[in-house]
A and B are shown apart, each in its own frame.
Chain A
Amino acid sequence: MGAVIVALVGTLMVLLAPDQVGDELVVVVPSADGHVGTVVVERRGERVVLHEAFAASRIVDGSPPMRELLTGVETRSEFAVALSSLPHRPKSFLVYFLEGTDEFTEESRVEFEKILSELRERGAPDVVVIGHTDRVGTIPYNDRLSLQRAERVRGELIRLGIPESRIRTAGRGEREPLVPTDDDVSEPRNRRVEINVR
């Protein structure tokens, strides 16, 4: 009997004890392109839906989530270090080539310099380089040419100081045109290399 009472009291104490959780805050912020997403915060069946800029949910002393609206300034100062430690967003670039060669077009030569300076700012970039051609020439010829273009870009990236081990190349030949054409059509927009950086 005594044991039962002890057990009951013990259970009651656990149930009545204040929740041993710290305070929590969740804030939805606009993304780089200005879009605002949605996050649902749930605690013990109570939910708040956050879907406007700086909408927040706060849990205090284990309370249900309470909605509030913060300002951008408050949010950015509260989360300054985490925000400044987000990795760069993955990005894709295109450079174009002269017909039948692995030589950049004049515009792409300039563009490539900008790409290089952007790459320099990234810590430990992983780069995937994919070469393409237009439909002039045979499929095996274009497979070779597309890989040659990709290797050309790879060489430039290595010269910039990006470790070889972080660059992967592939040639897709004429299989993935940006602009679909008939066979043997010269199309400058398809003579390109994609540089995907993460």
Chain B
Amino acid sequence: MRHFVAVAVLALAVSGFARAEDVGQIKVAKGTVHVERDGKRLPAMVGMPIRQSDTLITGVDGAAGVTFSDNSLLSTGPNSVLVVDLYMFDSTTHAGKFDASLKKGTLAVVSGKIVKQTPGAMRVRTPAAIMGVRGTDFLVQVDEPAK
């Protein structure tokens, strides 16, 4: 019986962990933060999983930080739109690919195991440019076009 309880508790502990499609998790959420997923706008909170194709949106008072499964860290400041275009990571070989787009706002990046294993395997797109990341810490700011 004791064994059974131990197993049940373990199973519970494991089920609380990331599902296969979860590629990251929101660790910091300040002010207004939303995640757009499958056309729906969800209020974002600390602990919420992030998936490929998600768009992270912060309001004028907002900021958000995400830890990805390869230990990449991304955070956005206020009034920002960040899209996780593509995320693939093999936790055994550390091979992977990470494409993100900053449509507007500010972004801080600390690249993780994907880039360590394969320099250049992470790319960040902006409306005007594309960045190839060979490691590790950098910042991006995209202003909105003047009207």
Contacts and interface: CB of A to CB of B under 8 A. Distances in A.
A27 B144 contact: no
Nearest to A27: B139
Contacts of A50: 138
A79 B135 contact: no
Contacts of A23: 143
Contact of B75 (A28, A62, A86): A86
Interface range, B side: 35 or more
A82 B76 CA distance: 5
Nearest to A19: B128
Contacts of B15: 165
B139 to A, nearest CB: 5
Contacts, number: 166
A169 B46 contact: no
Given A39-B132, A40-B131, A89 B142 contact: no
30 contacts: A21-B128, A22-B128, A26-B129, A27-B138, A28-B137, A29-B137, A29-B138, A31-B110, A39-B132, A40-B134, A41-B130, A57-B129, A62-B128, A81-B77, A81-B78, A81-B106, A83-B108, A83-B139, A84-B63, A85-B108, A86-B110, A87-B66, A90-B71, A124-B47, A163-B16, A164-B9, A164-B12, A165-B12, A165-B16, A198-B71
Interface of A: 19-32, 35-43, 50, 57, 59, 62, 65, 75, 78-90, 122-124, 126, 151, 163-169, 198
